[in-house]
Structure 1
Amino acid sequence: MRTYLLLPALLFIAAACGGKKDEQQQAPPPPTPVTAVKATRGNATYYDEFPATVTALVDVEIQPQVAGNITGIFFQDGQRVKKGQKLYTIDPQQYRASYDQAVANLNVQKANLNRAQKDADRYNTLAKQDAIARQAVDNANATLEAAQMQVQAAQANIRAVSTNLKYTTIYAPLDGTIGISQVRLGAAVAPGSTPLNTISADNPISVDIQIDESDIQRFVKLQSQPSNPRDSTFVFLLTDGTRYRYPGAVRIVDRAVDPQTGTLRVRVAFPNPERQLKVGLNGNLRVKASTGAPQLMIPYQAVTEQMSEYFVFVVGDSSKVTQKKVTLGPRINEKVIVKNGLNEGELIVTEGTQKIREGARVKAAVK
C-alpha cells in the first residue's frame, strides 16, 4: 500500500521540476547595451572635392607667317618672355629684295604719273582754246587715270612685301612662359607647318574641373560673387596633399553641357606669382559649401553600408531597434547629412551596431 502512494508523489515532483526548467529556457535575453543619439537639424559648412587639371588661361601658338630658314632664336626654352620680345628671325633676304624692288617700281609709277599729269594739264588748256582735237584730250586724261591706278597698285604691293618683311621677325604676343622650341637654327619653316613654339600666360593660371548638371546654378552664383583675396571658397590641393597658398575664383563656366558625360567644365583662376603651378599639373579642387537651411545630421559612425546602400538602427517602442535605409548627403567632419529616411528626433544607435539586429531589444545610453 505504501508503494502505490509513493509513485504518484515522485511523478508530481519530477513534473514540477521539468516545468521550471522549461520556463528558464524560454525567458527572453537581457537587452543589449548600446549608445544612441537623437537626429537633429543644424547648419554646417562642408567641402566638396573635384578632380582638377591646371591649364593656362591663354595659350598662343607661335606660327610662321612666311616661308624661309630660321636664322635666329633669341630666348631660352622655358623662360619668361615679355610682350613684344623678339623670339625668332626668318631669313629676310628675299623679302628685303622684294621690298626694294617694290619701292623702285613705285618710284617709276610716280614718275609716269607726273608725266601723265603734265600732259593732261597741257591738253586740257589747249582744249579750252579749241586748239587740239577732243580725242587727244580724252586720251591724255585716260593715260593720267591709268597712271594713278598704277601708283595705287605699286603702293599696295609695297604694303604686301613690307608685311612679309616684317613677318621675318617674330615677337612674343603676350607676357608668359615660352615652351621648348620645336625648330633649331637653319630649319626650313612655312605658313601652316608645325608651330615653332607655344607661350602660356601663367599668372594668373587656371584650374579646370567637370561638374554635374545639378551643380551648375551653384557655380554660376559663385561666378557672380566679387573676388576676395582672403576668400577660402576655392582651395587647390596638389597631388601630395599640399594646400596651394592662394585662393581662387570662378573665371569661366562653359557654355554647354557635354551630352556624352552630362558634365560642364568650370575654370577657376588662381594667382601664380611664384610660377608654382604648371600647365598639365593634376590635383583636387576643394570647394566650400554651406547647408544654408538647417539639415538633418547624424554621426557618421551610426551608418552601416550594405551592397552600396546605407542603413541606421533606430530605437523604437519597447526599446526594440528597426533598421532603416537612408540617403546620405555630404559628410561634415564626424557627421553626415541625411537627405531621406529619417525624422528629426529619432534615436539612432551609434555604438554597438555590430551586436544587434532587426527587432533586437536594447538598453540605450543617450548622449
Structure 2
Amino acid sequence: MTFPSPTTSQTITRAGIGLVAAATLLVLAACEKPQASAEIGTPPPPPKVSVAEVLRQPIHEWDEVTGRLEAPQSVVIRSRVSGYIDQVAFEEGALVQKGDLLFQIDPRPFAAEVRRLQAQLDRAIAQSKRAEAEAKRGDQLRAGKIIGSEEADARLSTADEARAAVVATRAQLEAAQLNLAFTEIRAPIDGRMSRAELTIGNLVRADDSRLSSIVSTDQVYAYFDIDESVYLKYSALTKSGEVGAAAPVYLGLTNEEGHPHEGRMDFLDNQVNPGTGTIRGRAVFDNRDGLFTPGLYARLKLVGSAGYVASLIDERAIGTDLGKKFVLVLDAGNKVAYRSIEIGPRQNGLRVVRQGLEAGDRIVVRGLQRVRPGMAVDPDIVPMADAATLAGFATAAGAASAN
C-alpha cells in the first residue's frame, strides 16, 4: 500500500478546509440577504402616542392664602344681677334660639323688692293726691283772703314734692322689675352653647361671673392676611371694576381636596401692618348646614386677576430642558416638533401656558419618552380635560362674572 507523502497530505487538508469555509460563507450569505432585504423593505411603524389639543378656557387667576374661621357673633354669658343659681336650663353644646332660658337666678329677693316698692309707690300716689287737693283748696282760701299767700304757696310746694316722689318711686320700681327679669338669663342670639361654667347653687356676681358662651352658626367668617403685592393687585382690580367688592372666595378644610366651598369677600382692613407687611381680610361663608366650627384652619383662594381666555394643558405634557419648560407639538404631517413655553399657575388640575402655544395646537400628553423632535408618530387623540374639570371651569367663571 502506498501512502501519500506528508507534503501531499497537508496540501489536500488545506484544500479541504478552504472548500468547507467557502461553502459556509455561501450559506451564510444566502441566509442574510433575504433578512437584510426584508429590513430595508418594511420600516417599523411610527410609535403610537396620546395627543390632545390645547384647551382654551376663560379663567381668573387665584391667590392662595390660609386663615382661621370665626363666628360673626360671639357672646360671653354673664348675669346682670347677683344671686344664687337655681337652674341651668340648656344642654351643653346644643343649639339654642334667641330668647331661650339659659340660667335662672333665685328670684325671691328681687320679687320681694318689687312688692316693697309697689307699696311705696301706692303710698306716694295717695300722698300726692292729698297734697294736690290741699293746694287747690289753698288757692280758693287765698282768693277769699282766709289764708295768706305764704301758706297757699307752701301747699303748692308740698304738692310738687309729692308728685316728684311718685316719679322717683316709680323709677325705683321699674329698676326692681328689671332686676327681677334679669334673674332669667336668656340667649341673646341664635347659636350654639358652650359648657356651663357655674352650676346650680353657685353664687353669681353681677357683671363679673362668666357663666357660659354662645356663638352664632348660620354664617362663619374666615380671617386671613395677605401681603402688600396681593393687596395692591386686588385693590387695582376692584378700583377698575374688573373684580367686584363682593368677589368670590373659595375655601377648603384640612380634610378636603381643593377648595369646594364658595363664599364672598366681606371686609378689608384700612391699613397695612408695618411690622408684618400684611393686611387683614375677611370672607363670609354660609354655614346653615353646621359644617364649619369657629377656630378651624382654612385654605382660601382669592381672585388674583381679571378674566381672560387662557391656554391650558395637562401637567404631564410638560418637559424640562436645562431649567426651561417645553412641549412636543405635532405638525400637519404628525411630525414631532420641540416648542419652548412659559407656564403660569395651575387651574383645576391643568397648567396655564402664558406663551408658546396657540389655539388648535396638538401636543403629546403621554409617551414623551418614546418620541423625539422630527419623528413621525401615530396620534391617539384624547381630551385634554374630563367633563368634571370642564364643569369646574364653567362654575368658577360664572361665579366670578356674577360677582
Q: What TM-score comes out, normalization by structure 1 length?
A: 0.67
Is 1:187 aligned to 2:202, yes or no? yes
Distance in 1 (CA, whole Å) between partners of 2:279 and 2:251 is 19
Distance in 2 (CA, whole Å) between partners of 1:73 and 1:207 is 33
Residue 259 of structure 1: CA displacement? 2.7
Distance in 2 (CA, whole Å) between partners of 1:52 and 1:313 is 33
Residue 224 of structure 1: CA displacement? 3.7
Describe how 1:20-35 pairs up with structure 2 within 5 A: none
Q: Match of 1:264, SS?
A: strand
Distance in 2 (CA, whole Å) between partners of 1:304 and 1:249 is 41
Counterpart position of 1:141: 156
Residue 243 of structure 1: CA displacement? 5.7
Contact 1:68-1:91 within 8 A present in 2 as well? yes
| 1:261-316 C-alpha deviation (Å, 9 max, x unpaired) | 222222222222221111111121233555645789999856689xxxxx5389xx
Higher mean displacement: 110-119 or 211-220? 211-220
Is 1:152 aligned to 2:167, yes or no? yes
Distance in 2 (CA, whole Å) between partners of 1:313 and 1:169 is 70
Alignment counterpart, residue 335 of structure 1, candidates 326, 334, 351: 351
The code of the aligned residue for 1:180 comes to R
Contact 1:54-1:281 within 8 A present in 2 as well? yes
Residue 185 of structure 1: CA displacement? 1.0
Counterpart position of 1:235: 250
Question: In angstroms, what is the RMSD of aligned CA positions?
Answer: 3.7
Distance in 1 (CA, whole Å) between partners of 2:275 and 2:293 is 29
Counterpart position of 2:288: 273
- Seen in structure 2, the aligned counterparts of structure 1 residues 331 and 148 have a Cα distance that, compared at 3 Å, is same
Describe how 1:165-176 pairs up with structure 2 within 5 A: 165-176=180-191
Counterpart position of 1:359: none
- Seen in structure 2, the aligned counterparts of structure 1 residues 60 and 240 have a Cα distance that, compared at 3 Å, is same
Describe how 1:30-41 pairs up with structure 2 within 5 A: none
| 1:231-266 C-alpha deviation (Å, 9 max, x unpaired) | xx4332121224676421222223333232222222
The code of the aligned residue for 2:122 comes to N
Counterpart position of 2:273: 258
Residue 157 of structure 1: CA displacement? 0.7
Q: How many residues align?
A: 291
Alignment counterpart, residue 48 of structure 1, candidates 57, 63, 80: 63
Q: Match of 1:160, SS?
A: helix
Distance in 2 (CA, whole Å) between partners of 1:304 and 1:68 is 78
Counterpart position of 2:105: 90
Percent identity over paired residues: 26
Distance in 2 (CA, whole Å) between partners of 1:91 and 1:244 is 51
- Seen in structure 2, the aligned counterparts of structure 1 residues 182 and 304 have a Cα distance that, compared at 3 Å, is farther
| 1:36-60 C-alpha deviation (Å, 9 max, x unpaired) | xxxxx99644443221222111112
Q: Match of 2:262, SS?
A: coil
Distance in 1 (CA, whole Å) between partners of 2:80 and 2:346 is 56
Distance in 2 (CA, whole Å) between partners of 1:257 and 1:251 is 17
Q: What TM-score comes out, normalization by structure 2 length?
A: 0.62
- Seen in structure 2, the aligned counterparts of structure 1 residues 114 and 67 have a Cα distance that, compared at 3 Å, is same
The code of the aligned residue for 1:77 comes to E
The code of the aligned residue for 1:153 comes to A
Name structure 1 gaps, 5 residues minimum: 1-40, 226-232, 306-310, 315-325, 351-362
Residue 88 of structure 1: CA displacement? 0.8
Describe how 1:297-308 pairs up with structure 2 within 5 A: 301=318
- Seen in structure 2, the aligned counterparts of structure 1 residues 263 and 294 have a Cα distance that, compared at 3 Å, is same
Larger Rg computed on CA atoms? 2
Q: Match of 1:107, SS?
A: helix
The code of the aligned residue for 1:131 comes to I
Q: Match of 2:282, SS?
A: strand
